[in-house]
Amino acid sequence: MRKDWHQVCQTLWEFDRRAAQGVAVVAGVDEAGRGCLAGPVVAAAVILGGKPEDWVGINDSKQLTKARRAALCQHITASAVAVAVGVATVAEIDHLNILVASRVAMGRAIAGLPHKVDTALVDGPYAPLFPADEVRAIPVVDGDAKSLSIAAASIVAKVERDAMMAKLAEQYPMYGFERHVGYGTSEHLAALRQYGPTPHHRTTFGPVKALIEAR
């Protein structure tokens, strides 16, 4: 059955309005790359503004094709009130753990917005960490499927991270980063076994850690 994207957009928009409780500036926040074996975790914060009909087609990034995500990311970046990206490095992921690093990246994304945020709607059960701790954060489990601004952030985070991994693929062409973007696919695991980990692999993650210990 074909989705009515106008209705989907209206539903997601209304969730934001209810959750924000009438405050002036609401940002959606999400991250990409949490489950990967390589590369940073990347978060985005988006203040949409406008009207629901300005954002028809926005949905959870996992429900969209690569081409559709790219087009929507371009639209969001050009038309939203503000967009910012925050990154936590592989070194930070290994030092802090992936949960804390994800929350740090989200805090950095919020801090990078040029507008003061009254409320941040955040995908998942945890709030961002400093420097965004002065912002009222509302964790929303499965938020990228419920909130329009979180869905927008999920698109930007995914597109930005994919672009980073494509650049990494130019440096390490044998790993296929441009295809699996760091996830533990059979292709990626085979390359790890053949070539060993790069400096961009997360050494605390099971398959990478096991390979290092075996060597």
pLDDT at res. 133 = 63
- Cα(59)–Cα(10) distance, rounded to whole angstroms? 11
pLDDT at res. 214 = 86
- Cα(173)–Cα(206) distance, rounded to whole angstroms? 23
Q: Is residue 181 part of a domain?
A: no
Task: Measure Cα distances from 180 to 28, 63, 142, 203, 208 in Å.
Answer: 26, 17, 23, 18, 16
H-state helical runs in the chain = 5-20, 66-79, 90-96, 98-111, 148-171, 177-180, 186-195, 206-214
Q: Is residue 74 part of a domain?
A: yes
Residue numbers in the known binding site for a divalent metal cation are: 30-31, 123
Q: What is the mean pLDDT of residues 112-127?
A: 94
- Cα(20)–Cα(105) distance, rounded to whole angstroms? 22
Selection from 63, 102, 58 nearest residue 80 by Cα: 58
- Cα(101)–Cα(41) distance, rounded to whole angstroms? 7
Phi, psi of 32 (to 5 degrees): -135, 145
pLDDT at res. 147 = 96
pLDDT at residue 126 is higher than 60: yes
Q: Is residue 188 part of a domain?
A: no
SS3 annotation, 151-188:
HHHHHHHHHHHHHHHHHHHHHCHHHCHHHHCCCCCHHH
pLDDT at res. 19 = 86
pLDDT at res. 36 = 98
pLDDT bin (cut points 50, 70, 90) of residue 12 is very high
Q: Is residue 63 part of a domain?
A: yes
Selection from 59, 100, 89 nearest residue 76 by Cα: 59
The boundaries of the domain holding residue 28 are 5-172
pTM assigned to the model: 0.95
pLDDT at res. 54 = 95
User: Distance of alpha carbon 78 from its chain centroid, rounded?
Assistant: 18
CATH of the domain at 51: 3.30.420.10
Instruction: Say how many domains are in the chain.
Output: 1
pLDDT bin (cut points 50, 70, 90) of residue 2 is very low
Mean pLDDT of the chain: 94
Residue numbers in the known binding site are: 30-31, 123
Query: How many CA atoms lie within 13 Å of 97's alpha carbon, on the beta-carbon side?
Result: 2
Q: Is residue 215 part of a domain?
A: no
Q: What is the mean pLDDT of residues 76-104?
A: 98
- Cα(35)–Cα(109) distance, rounded to whole angstroms? 19
Q: Is residue 193 part of a domain?
A: no
pLDDT at residue 68 is higher than 60: yes
User: pLDDT tens for residues 127-176?
Assistant: 999 766 678 899 999 999 999 999 999 999 999 999 999 999 999 999 99
Find the range with the poorest average confidence among 14-18, 23-27, 158-162, 180-184: 23-27
Q: Evaluate whether 144 touches 60 at the Cβ level (below 8 Å).
A: yes
Nearest-5° angle of CA 160, CA 142, CA 24? 75
Retrieve residue 32's tokens.
Answer: 């990409």
Q: Evaluate whether 26 touches 149 at the Cβ level (below 8 Å).
A: yes
pLDDT at res. 8 = 86
User: pLDDT tens for residues 28-64?
Assistant: 999 999 999 999 999 999 999 999 999 999 999 999 9
Q: What is the mean pLDDT of residues 113-119?
A: 92
